[in-house]
Amino acid sequence: KTENIVMILNQLVEKTQFLAEDKHICLITHISEEVIEVSVEKQRILQALYNLLINALHYTNQGGYVKLHVDRVYRQDRQNEYVRIMIEDNGTGIPEEDLPLIFNRFYRADHSRARPSGGTGLGLAIAQQNIFVHHGWIEVHSEVEKGTTFSVFLPALPVVRE
């Protein structure tokens, strides 16, 4: 189904705004005013982005920020245009040796296992699965004690001008 990713992101912000406020984390959004269409199952995309955003809020200390950004990018390597949704935080970061493992089911890095707050380690596995079924993928860049950026890529639909 054709959905406007901007609407999905606005819904996501609505769902998480209060959590950010509770934790005194600034949720900064750079969401376009324009319509950006994607062909997706809305609930699955919402679930994937929610898992990523909850992680960003969870693994960032109070006083930090989480930025949500969306744009269209041309990927030379795939010769195709994609909608890119970036979720950036200035939280704990992820050690380099953990990066290849975080999408595995039930994997939780030491720093999070040590935390009292539960978590099953399924959040990223589900997010990745939901993006894969839409022919997209997730990239992650992270630096310990600096922060993490997850980028979600979804195939873009051609822009229709009326």
Q: Which residue is nearest to ligand ATP (CB)?
A: 123
Partner in contact with 102, chosen from ligand ATP, Mg ion, none, beta carbon below 5 to 8 Å by kind: ligand ATP
Closer to ligand ATP at the Cβ: 31 or 109?
109
User: Does residue 55 touch Mg ion according to CB under 5 A?
Assistant: yes
Residues that bind ligand ATP (CB under 6 A): 51, 55-56, 59, 89, 91-94, 102, 107-109, 112, 119-125, 148
Report what 136 binds from ligand ATP, Mg ion, none; CB cut-off 5-8 Å by kind: none
- DSSP per position, the chain: -EEEHHHHHHHHHHHHHHHHHHTT-EEEEE--SS--EEE--HHHHHHHHHHHHHHHHHTS-TT-EEEEEEEEEEETTTTEEEEEEEEEE-SS---GGGTTTTTSTT---HHHHTSSS---S-HHHHHHHHHHTTT-EEEEEEETTTEEEEEEEEEPPPPP--
Positions 88 through 147 that interact with Mg ion (CB under 5 A): 123
Which of Mg ion, ligand ATP, none does residue 108 bind to, with CB < 5 to 8 Å depending on kind?
ligand ATP
Considering the complex, what minimum distance in angstroms separates the CB of residue 2 from Mg ion?
29
